[in-house]
Chains A and B, each alone.
Chain A
Amino acid sequence: AQSVSQHNHHVILSEAASLELGCNYSYGGTVNLFWYVQYPGQHLQLLLKYFSGDPLVKGIKGFEAEFIKSKFSFNLRKPSVQWSDTAEYFCAVNDAGTYKYIFGTGTRLKVLA
Chain B
Amino acid sequence: DTGVSQDPRHKITKRGQNVTFRCDPISEHNRLYWYRQTLGQGPEFLTYFQNEAQLEKSRLLSDRFSAERPKGSFSTLEIQRTEQGDSAMYLCASSPRRQGIDIQYFGAGTRLSVL
Contacts and interface: CB of A to CB of B under 8 A. Distances in A.
Q: Is B a genuine binding partner of A?
A: yes
Interface in A49-82: 49, 51
Interface string A1-29: 00010100000000000000000000000
Given A32-B102, A51-B101, A94-B102, A103 B42 contact: yes
A101 B35 CA distance: 9
Nearest to B46: A100
Contacts of A44: 43, 91, 93, 106
B103 A103 contact: no
Contacts of A32: 101-102
Q: Report the interface size class on chain B.
A: 20 to 34
Contact of B43 (A49, A51, A94, A103): A103
Contact of A102 (B41, B45, B55, B104): B45
Contacts of B45: 100-102
Nearest to A51: B101
Contacts of B107: 43
Given A90-B42, A105-B40, A106-B42, A99 B102 contact: yes
Contacts of A49: 103
A18 B44 CA distance: 30
B48 interface: yes
A65 B40 CA distance: 23
7 contacts: A43-B106, A43-B109, A51-B101, A90-B42, A103-B35, A103-B43, A104-B42
